């Protein structure tokens, strides 16, 4: 007769074997879902459908995989910060276009949307190692562009995209200005315990109390909790408290880990926000939160007025030395021209205009 203990051991052994089989055979399909059920891999719409000005961008990752992306700009001259957006694990970048359309309008920014390998029009098959290379290729491309301000690149990642963004930001302290994380998990190991509760004792992150014997079989651990504490750039955490996929405690743990070493961290909760719609549920409060973060850490560069405005090269105030000799309108024209051009005047006590080193340029302005 088989003892009760024997049955228990057989049962536990069966669970372990089944768990290992599931992880080894199907883990990529659980973590990466480039095609939603009932839909095709291709993009259902493009930015043109929403009347957005965009470019199709083709990149090559460091291992030779061909990648596709959209660079969407609000204005032709690409003023404003540039947001490098990393999506969740399911679907493709086209499914995020409505959110991005509002992002452009509210934040006055450019948005670069990358299709991970195996997603959308990109080649290859998704993996953690591969997607990290894909993200780096996207960032390198942005820094090669001459039509954007490379010092105002902000990484924005939701869910899986937050894990991707955290790694990229940590690895590029001089290329990424700030990081925004929304509804991101602490690690895939912890999420495995959430999605597969019967494996919770056998798999998990550092906080797990079990033996974690299955951890070694996970090929895409995406341990954001171990990365976020090493990020030195400012971080904004956006947490939807009704998240049905990633328990909100994950975002709280990420913030706590980051804030111990990084003083420029902010944590904002949205009471009705779910996993995919926090931006929608948060409404105006959501966008104002992000806007304030950008204004604080990637402010618009304002052109500084020249220090010589209103003074001659000797430092003398030209109002005192010139107004008595010049017609007021004539004097204002000269002064305004110098302000616009940043011209340092070389003047005498009577007519500073006569000895200006840029007299020809000034004359053209005054004659116009």
Active centre residues (catalytic): 159, 243, 275
Give 327's contacts (C-beta < 8 A, 6+ positions apart). none
C-beta of residue 84 within 8 angstroms of C-beta of residue 154: yes
DSSP 3-state of 210: coil
- List CB contacts of 85: < 8 A, sequence separation 6 or more: 93, 96, 100, 111, 112, 113, 114, 156, 157, 161
Cα within 13 Å of Cα(213), Cβ side:
12
Please tell me the total number of residues recorded for the chain in this structure: 368
Could you give the CA distance from residue 336 to residue 173 in angstroms, rounded to a whole number? 41
For the chain, give percent helix, strand, coil, nearest 5.
45, 15, 40
Q: Are 241 and 271 in contact (CB under 8 A)?
A: yes
Q: Is 247 left (phi over 0), alpha (psi -120 to 50) or beta?
A: beta
């Amino acid at each position: 007769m088989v003892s009760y203990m024997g049955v228990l051991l057989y049962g536990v052994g069966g669970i372990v074997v089944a768990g290992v089989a599931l992880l080894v055979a199907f883990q990529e399909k659980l973590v990466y879902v480039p095609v939603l059920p009932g839909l095709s891999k291709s993009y259902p719409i493009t930015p043109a459908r929403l009347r957005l000005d965009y470019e199709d961008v083709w990149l090559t990752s460091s291992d030779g995989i061909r990648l596709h992306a959209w660079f969407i700009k609000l204005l032709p001259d690409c003023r404003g910060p540039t947001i490098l957006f990393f999506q969740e694990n399911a679907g493709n970048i086209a499914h995020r276009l409505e959110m991005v359309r509002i992002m452009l309008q509210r934040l006055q920014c450019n948005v670069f949307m990358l299709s991970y390998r195996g997603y959308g029009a990109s080649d290859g098959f998704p993996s953690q190692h591969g997607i990290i290379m894909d993200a780096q290729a996207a960032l390198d491309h942005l820094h090669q562009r001459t039509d954007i301000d490379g010092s105002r690149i902000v990484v924005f990642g939701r869910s899986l995209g937050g894990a991707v963004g955290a790694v990229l930001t940590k690895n590029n302290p001089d290329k990424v200005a700030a990081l925004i994380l929304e509804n991101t998990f602490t690690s895939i190991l912890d999420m495995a315990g959430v999605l597969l509760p019967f494996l919770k004792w056998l798999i998990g992150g550092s906080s797990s109390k079990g033996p974690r014997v299955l951890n070694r079989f996970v090929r895409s651990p995406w341990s954001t909790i171990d990365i976020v504490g090493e990020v030195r750039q400012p971080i904004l955490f956006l947490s939807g408290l009704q998240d049905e996929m990633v328990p909100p405690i994950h975002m709280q743990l990420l913030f706590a880990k980051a804030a111990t070493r990084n003083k420029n961290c902010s944590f904002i909760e949205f009471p009705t926000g779910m996993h995919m719609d926090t931006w929608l549920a948060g409404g105006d409060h959501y966008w104002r939160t992000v806007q304030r973060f950008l204004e604080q850490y990637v402010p618009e560069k304002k052109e500084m007025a020249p220090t010589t405005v209103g003074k001659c090269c000797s430092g003398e105030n030209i109002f005192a030395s010139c107004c008595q000799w010049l017609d007021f309108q004539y004097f204002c024209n000269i002064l305004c021209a110098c302000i616009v051009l940043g011209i340092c005047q070389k003047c005498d006590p009577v007519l500073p205009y006569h000895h200006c080193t840029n007299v020809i340029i000034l004359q053209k302005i005054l004659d116009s």
